[in-house]
Amino acid sequence: MIALVAEIVVSLMIVAGASFALIGSWGLVRLPTLMERLHGPTKATTLGLGGMLVGSVLFFRLDQNLWSAHELLITLFLFITAPIAANMIAKVHLHSLRAGDPPDNAGPAGTPPPPPGAADWATYEAPHRDTPVATSET
Amino acid sequence: MMRRLIPHPGLSMLLVAVWLLLANSFSAGALIVGIVVGLALPIFTAPFWPDRPRVNFGLGLAYLVLVLWDIIVANFEVAAIILIRRNRDLRPTWLVIPMTLQTPEAITVLAATISLTPGTVSADVSACGRYLLVHALDAADPDAEIARIKSRYESRLLGVFA
């Protein structure tokens, strides 16, 4: 009886997770431009993968009678890497806008406004003298 | 002396915990290797961590729970936008968020939170470190969105990195 309930719960989690991953990928296809497309993979897929990982933890705990912690680590690394990957793509987009791409590539949001004050957005600035050696080119 | 050997106690403890989780077992050998890794890595990566951030771990845990909940909500919201909304009904905008937070660690956590939560992706920080450039997927009222991010996440992070 418990085995049956466990199987149902685990399969529900896996199917729900897979659906979110599919919706995230569909967002990548159908949203209008690059900046909007970034929203699909950074969010819908976190819950997609999260659901599958919870299913995996439950499977090992209820079916195999083991505690498995690798899923926690995968979640941790995903939460660290997903925003950084999105940030890198957004920065490349900012550079391509300034380099004079066709204006319709900017999408419905247009080009980003400059920040108030004298300084520009950080990605347009040359590395500062006191940044660690490994992070700057000079 | 102690300060040079263990420049970041919190980071060291996190590395030990991650190492034990990677080993997927609790044995003396794994613990010793984990402690060596936890001590060595902060020393070798010291140039990237010039200051030691002061973290209130209790408030940090509460913040983590709030963000996990918001991530779940965000997933449903973005999934609904992808499935239901037509492209011409979307109102994507750039938001420029003025920040009270000062330390690089706190700004990094805020930017990562914004990327993982409803309808917003952080794109860049200004060179002076006082403004954050954020892209919103569907913002009917940009000013209300900025106020929401500031009151929901930034005010709590001010307590975490006190």
ipTM summary value: 0.78
pLDDT digits (tens, 9 = 90+) for B32-76: 888 888 888 888 887 777 777 777 888 889 998 998 898 888 888
* Chain A environment of B84 (Cβ under 8 Å): none
CA distance B65 to chain A (A): 14
* Tokens 């980003």 sit on residue: A112
* Chain B environment of A90 (Cβ under 8 Å): 121-124, 135
> Does A90 sit within 8 Å of B71, measured CB to CB?
no
A46 lies in some domain: yes
User: Testing the interface with B: which of A28, A37, A39 to mutate, by most B Cβ within 10 A?
Assistant: A39
CA distance A8 to chain B (A): 21
Range of lowest pLDDT (A26-35, A98-107, B40-49): A98-107
- What whole-number distance in Å separates Cα of residue A63 and Cα of residue A49? 20
Portions of chain B given CATH number 3.30.70: 57-160
Q: Is B140 on the interface with A (CB under 8 A)?
A: no
**What integer pLDDT is reported at residue A102 of this predicted model?**
65
**Dihedral angle at the C-alpha atoms of B124, A80, A56, A10, nearest 10 degrees?**
-30
Report strand pairing: B93-98 vs B120-125.
Answer: unpaired
CA distance B6 to chain A (A): 20
Domain count, chain A: 1
Using pLDDT thresholds of 50, 70 and 90, give the confidence band for residue A4: confident
Q: Phi and psi for A120 in degrees, rounded to 5?
A: -95, 180
Report strand pairing: B120-125 vs B131-136.
Answer: antiparallel
pLDDT digits (tens, 9 = 90+) for B86-116: 877 788 888 888 888 888 888 888 998 888 8
| Residue among B82, B96, B121 whose CB faces A113 most closely | B96
Q: Residue A29 sits in which domain range?
A: 2-111
> Does A115 sit within 8 Å of B130, measured CB to CB?
yes
Q: If we measure between CA atoms, which residue out of B105, B114, B108 comes closest to residue B149?
A: B114
**What integer pLDDT is reported at residue A15 of this predicted model?**
93
A55 lies in some domain: yes
Q: Which residue has the higher pLDDT, B93 or A1?
A: B93
Q: Which residue of B has its CA nearest to A75?
A: B68
A121 lies in some domain: no
A116 lies in some domain: no
A27 lies in some domain: yes
For domain B57-160, is the CATH number 3.30.70?
yes
Residue A103 scores a pLDDT above 70: no
**What's the rounded mean pLDDT across residues A72-97?**
84
CA distance A29 to chain B (A): 10
